[in-house]
Amino acid sequence: MLARAPGRVNLIGDHTDYTGGLVLPMAVDLATTVEGTAGGDQVRLTSENLEGPAVVPLDVAEPSAYQPAWARYVAGVVAVVRPARGFTGQVATTLPVGAGLSSSAALEVAVALALGFQGSALELALACQRAEQLASGVPCGVMDQLASAAGVAGHALLIDCTALTVTPVPIPEDVEVVVVPSGEVRQLAGSAYADRRAQCETAIAVIGPLTEATLEDVARVRDPVARARARHVVSENQRVRRMATALAEGDLETCGSLMAASHESLRTDFEVSTPRLDALVTELMATPGVYGARLTGAGFGGCVVALTMPGALGGGWPVRAVGGAQVEAS
Ligand code: ADP
Ligand code: MG
């Protein structure tokens, strides 16, 4: 059995998924594979990338308690998928681990498929979102897992995280998506993430769902921190919608401006950027041939994503949009 699941990069729409908003990621041509044989009464995986093994009984109760730490993701998947048979195999990936391209979601989705998960791409994503929450204790949204499960070659994915619909948006041929690592390892992402989520809830208690709120509604939130968080989310949802339209129309200048505005909002209103990410975005925005750049993912380090003319950047990782996770051999 060989299962493959891609990572993702989010073009725009960060910290909008867990309040049911809009995101625009794409599955990338960097992926995690799980290869092995079904059987036995435990799941036993080694990884080319991290020390192991991960050994998880089929009746796992507490996924977050496993060692080494990456075994928690495996345990989370076992706890949600509840396979009838065990599995022995290896994990390998071409994704950078812990850099913001969702190696964790790719691992969960590949493990779920290797364990024989049956269901739609959405069902697979929801199962793996639950697995990640059980494993990490972080109340993450569904974007990463859904982008990995439902990728479409040559397309970004406009995801409505309330309706859980995925609308493929064609990416023009004459543009390159480049991921530029900041070199900064994400820190405090878990607790800061939970704080941001709670601050959004404070705003929601005053003005209702952020997906339906306007910026005038946001102005009614008294608490200044909650107000700023909500302003990011409401304005970001608008930017995602406009970006999907601009991308489909090939209006790359507009795409670039929206990306720059998104970064600014994440920096000032949502406060998840870092000086290093800001410097990188500023440098990229000043580089000829770059339409736009922004931090991508949860922030606090990780990567910047840039939309460029082909070949405009010497460094970084140019990525292509690929199809979603699948079982490649069994
Ligand atoms: P990201 O998803 O952005 O790469 P996370 O911190 O969410 O970063 O997930 C990284 C974690 O996922 C790793 O620390 C490890 O526990 C697990 N992981 C991801 N890929 C692998 C892999 N190929 N082998 C073992 N563990 C992995
Ligand atoms: Mg992750």
Residues in Cβ contact with 238 at an 8 Å cutoff, skipping those fewer than 6 apart: none
- With tokens 């003005």, the residue in question is 207
Report the chain's C-alpha Rg in angstroms. Answer: 19
Is there an atom of ligand 1 within 6 Å of 66 CB?
no
The helix/strand/coil state of 139 is coil
Is there an atom of ligand 1 within 6 Å of 101 CB?
yes
Is there an atom of ligand 1 within 6 Å of 73 CB?
yes
Q: Which atom of ligand 1 is nearest to the CA of 69?
A: 16
Is there an atom of ligand 1 within 6 Å of 237 CB?
no
List C-alpha distances in Å: 298 to 12, 18, 80, 104, 330.
12, 12, 24, 13, 35
Span from the CA of 192 to the centroid of ligand 2 (angstroms) = 15
Span from the CA of 104 to the centroid of ligand 2 (angstroms) = 4
Best mutation site among 28, 50, 148, 179 for ligand 1 pocket (most ligand atoms within 8 Å of CB)? 50
The helix/strand/coil state of 11 is strand
How would you classify the pairing of strands 87-93 and 42-47? parallel
List per-residue pLDDT tens for the chain, 330 residues long: 999 999 999 999 999 999 999 999 999 999 999 999 999 999 999 999 999 899 999 999 999 999 999 999 999 999 999 999 999 999 999 999 988 899 999 999 999 999 999 999 999 999 999 999 999 988 889 999 999 999 999 999 999 999 999 999 999 999 999 999 999 887 656 678 889 999 999 999 999 999 999 999 999 999 999 999 999 999 999 999 999 999 999 999 999 999 999 999 999 999 999 999 999 999 999 999 999 999 999 899 999 999 999 999 999 999 999 999 999 987
List C-alpha distances in Å: 102 to 9, 20, 51, 192, 220.
8, 19, 19, 18, 35
CA 311 to CA 31: how far, in whole Å? 23
Query: What are the tokens at 142?
Result: 């569904």
